[in-house]
């Protein structure tokens, strides 16, 4: 029921509920809204342009609501309007990229930003980005320098390589390597290693973009030394191994490893390159983790070039690292694509600081967040789950039941695809057996709407929250009071 127009315009007190509806003409004009004393602080904080834009948009929204008979007079008082405007401004200024809680159980999660940067890298970025620096300037001679030199020495020391360079990411490292070493020529790869990494990185497509011709040898499950030998011809530029980082070929299989393939390539005067994908710089098994091939092992086995990522197991920023023979790296560096794919000073600062941590291996499990999370003791993870449980159960009762649960997590990002990490967390199940899918979707949505969005995973009619990556339970507990479940069933 609507009140007579009269009583609304003059704002006379309404005799009874429902609350009096506002008409479009009850809304203030833009400049009257901006002159409200309650808006002064907003103008002061943000300036006229943004506040006026948001005020205009707010008034348009309210006008539409009024026309639909959907706006109460109480919503257009001075304080209500200023409050609504402040809320719009806050939303507008909130960055689109936000911190989240990764409770998916996958430590290096590509969709959630992969490796967390170590403190040392964050501090170095801060110091280097706020000031001019010697990115391409040789302080000893006072002349032009090369940005590669910032990390080349460290990379050579850590991997045993003769030379090294860095580009924007590992996809770029592979692309550049192929473009520089095999333009218009053939590159031999086993059919069992033609990987697709998420996000349109498919080895055959990368070959084509680099102008190289892919020569597939062997079969999906078995490739032999003779397959490579027979495929080598006058147009061959390179033999390539690709680490099958996100799948495993099991059963009746056979592959030619680098130590056997290197002499075959070298006998014909050809280089052997390996794309390791993740590529750990340390022996993961020393930390009780499944072993992952290292660039140093690949070089020792006879590979001439190794490419790997900066933000996977290495635990640094997005980067593509190429290490290996000096003459090949000189050709790679000279290719025009190098300039287009070069690393920016920002990740370069982070990469240098991260690599320096590897000089102190005894401290690495503390200093490198990725390794710290991967080696976090199970008892610790379980204790976090226990700490979160009571507050979460209280917030979700009576619709959901929360229980502690043993979980299997993953390293992630195409590292060690079949290995699982014993972990621990909470399983949340709807109490009502009807509409379970919908109830779980609503719960997941409410968790994502928290100030620090909580990302879990749905499995077997439960929402699972793996606590491995929640090092401080309070960060989650502190925002549980803000959890809002919609009533729609
Ligand atoms: C992850 C991966 C890449 C791509 O690395 P980015 O750093 O993400 O560009 C290439 N090859 C393999 C085998 C990988 O696992």
- Check which CATH number belongs to the domain holding 140 and give it: 3.40.640.10
* Residue 125 shares a structural domain with residue 264: yes
E-strand stretches of 191-260: 196-197, 201-202, 213-217, 236-242
168 CB within 6 A, ligand 1: no
pLDDT value for 1: 39
pLDDT value for 7: 40
pLDDT value for 6: 39
Q: Which residues contact 127 (CB under 8 A, 6 or more apart)?
A: none
Q: Is residue 9 part of a domain?
A: no
415 CB within 6 A, ligand 1: no
Q: Is residue 179 part of a domain?
A: yes
Which letter, b or e, does each residue of 338-363 get, where b requires 16 or more Cβ atoms within 10 Å of its Cβ?
Answer: beebbbebebbbbbbbbbbbbeeeee
* Residue 277 shares a structural domain with residue 348: yes
* Residue 157 shares a structural domain with residue 191: yes
Task: Give, using CA atoms, the residue closest to atom 3 of ligand 1.
Answer: 277
* Residue 346 shares a structural domain with residue 460: no
- How many CA atoms does the CB half-sphere of 12 hold within 13 Å? 7
pLDDT value for 9: 44
* Residue 349 shares a structural domain with residue 211: yes
pLDDT value for 415: 58
Which residue among 106, 195, 309, 317 has the greatest number of ligand 1 atoms within 8 angstroms of its CB, and so is best to mutate? 309
pLDDT value for 197: 75
pLDDT value for 250: 83
Q: What is the pLDDT of residues 313-364, one digit of tens each?
A: 999 999 999 999 999 999 999 999 999 999 999 999 999 999 999 999 999 9
Which residue among 201, 207, 322 has the greatest number of ligand 1 atoms within 8 angstroms of its CB, and so is best to mutate? 201
pTM of the predicted model, to two decimals? Answer: 0.91
Task: Say which CATH number the domain at 432 has.
Answer: 3.90.1150.180
Task: Give, using CA atoms, the residue closest to atom 5 of ligand 1.
Answer: 170
- Tell me the two tokens of residue 187: 């590159």
Q: d(Cα 469, Cα 411) in Å, to the nearest integer? A: 11
Q: Is residue 4 part of a domain?
A: no
Three-class secondary structure of residue 379 per DSSP: helix
195 CB within 6 A, ligand 1: yes
173 CB within 6 A, ligand 1: no
* Residue 124 shares a structural domain with residue 242: yes
Atom of ligand 1 nearest to the CA of 413: 1
* Residue 201 shares a structural domain with residue 237: yes
Q: How many residues belong to the chain?
A: 489
Among 301, 330, 364, which residue terminates a domain?
364
Q: Is residue 412 part of a domain?
A: yes
* Residue 182 shares a structural domain with residue 45: no
* Residue 50 shares a structural domain with residue 158: no
Q: Is residue 214 part of a domain?
A: yes
Task: Give, using CA atoms, the residue closest to atom 1 of ligand 1.
Answer: 277
Contact between 480 and 454 (Cβ < 8 Å): no
Q: Is residue 7 part of a domain?
A: no
243 CB within 6 A, ligand 1: yes
Q: What is the pLDDT of residues 224-266, one digit of tens each?
A: 999 999 999 999 999 999 998 777 888 888 999 999 999 999 9
* Residue 153 shares a structural domain with residue 242: yes
Ligand 1 center from residue 314 Cα (angstroms): 12
Q: Structurally, how many domains does the chain consist of?
A: 3
Query: What counts of helices (H) and strands (E) characterise the chain?
Result: 20, 17
**Ranges of the chain whose pLDDT falls below 50:** 1-11
Ligand 1 center from residue 100 Cα (angstroms): 24
* Residue 417 shares a structural domain with residue 307: no
Q: Is residue 489 part of a domain?
A: no
pLDDT value for 305: 98
Atom of ligand 1 nearest to the CA of 171: 9
197 CB within 6 A, ligand 1: yes
Among 344, 364, 384, which residue terminates a domain?
364
* Residue 214 shares a structural domain with residue 301: yes
Task: Give, using CA atoms, the residue closest to atom 12 of ligand 1.
Answer: 277
Among 59, 93, 127, which residue terminates a domain?
93
Q: Which H helix or E strand runs over 277?
A: strand 272-277
Residue-range definition of the domain harbouring residue 415: 101-109+375-480
């Amino acid at each position: 029921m609507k009140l007579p127009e009269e009583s609304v315009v003059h704002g006379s007190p309404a005799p009874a509920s429902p609350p009096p509806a506002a008409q479009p003409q009850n809304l203030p004009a833009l400049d009257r809204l901006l002159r409200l004393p309650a808006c002064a602080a907003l103008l002061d904080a943000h300036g006229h342009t943004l506040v006026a834009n948001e005020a205009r948009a707010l008034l348009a929204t309210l006008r539409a609501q009024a026309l639909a008979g959907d706006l109460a007079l109480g919503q257009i008082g001075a304080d209500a309007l200023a409050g609504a405007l402040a809320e719009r401004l806050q939303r507008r200024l909130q960055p689109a990229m936000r911190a989240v809680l990764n409770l998916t159980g996958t430590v290096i999660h590509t969709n959630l930003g992969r490796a967390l940067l170590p403190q040392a890298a964050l501090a170095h970025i801060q110091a280097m980005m706020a000031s001019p620096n010697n990115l391409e300037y040789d302080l000893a001679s006072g002349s032009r320098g090369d940005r590669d030199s910032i990390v080349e020495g460290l990379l050579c020391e850590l991997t045993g390589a003769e030379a090294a360079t860095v580009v924007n990411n590992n996809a770029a490292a592979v692309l550049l390597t192929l473009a520089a070493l095999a333009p218009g020529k053939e590159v031999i790869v086993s059919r069992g290693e033609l990987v697709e990494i998420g996000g349109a990185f498919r080895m055959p497509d990368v070959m084509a973009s680099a102008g190289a011709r892919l020569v597939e040898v062997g079969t999906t499950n078995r490739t032999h030394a003779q397959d490579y030998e027979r495929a080598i011809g006058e147009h061959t530029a390179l033999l390539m191994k690709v680490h099958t980082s996100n799948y495993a070929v099991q059963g009746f299989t056979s592959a030619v490893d680098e130590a056997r393939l290197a002499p075959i390539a070298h006998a014909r005067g050809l280089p052997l390159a390996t794309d390791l994908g993740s590529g750990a710089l340390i022996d993961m098994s020393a930390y009780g983790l499944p072993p992952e091939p290292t660039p140093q092992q690949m070089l020792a086995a006879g590979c001439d070039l190794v490419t790997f990522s900066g933000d996977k197991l290495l635990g640094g920023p997005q980067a593509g690292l190429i290490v290996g023979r000096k003459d090949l790296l000189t050709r790679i560096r000279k290719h025009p694509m190098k300039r287009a794919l070069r690393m920016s000073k920002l990740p370069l600062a982070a990469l240098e600081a991260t690599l320096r941590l590897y000089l102190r291996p005894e401290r690495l499990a503390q200093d490198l967040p990725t390794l710290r999370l991967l080696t976090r003791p199970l008892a610790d993870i379980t204790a976090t789950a226990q700490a979160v449980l009571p507050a979460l159960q209280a917030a979700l009762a009576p619709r959901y039941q929360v229980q502690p649960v043993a979980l299997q997590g993953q390293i992630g990002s195409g590292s060690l695809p079949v290995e699982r990490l014993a972990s621990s967390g909470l399983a949340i199940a709807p109490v009502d057996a009807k509409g379970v899918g919908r109830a779980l979707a609503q719960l997941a949505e409410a968790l994502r709407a928290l100030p620090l969005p909580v990302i879990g995973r749905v499995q077997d009619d439960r929402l699972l929250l793996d606590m491995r990556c929640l090092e401080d339970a309070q960060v989650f507990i502190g925002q549980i009071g803000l959890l809002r479940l919609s009533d729609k069933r």
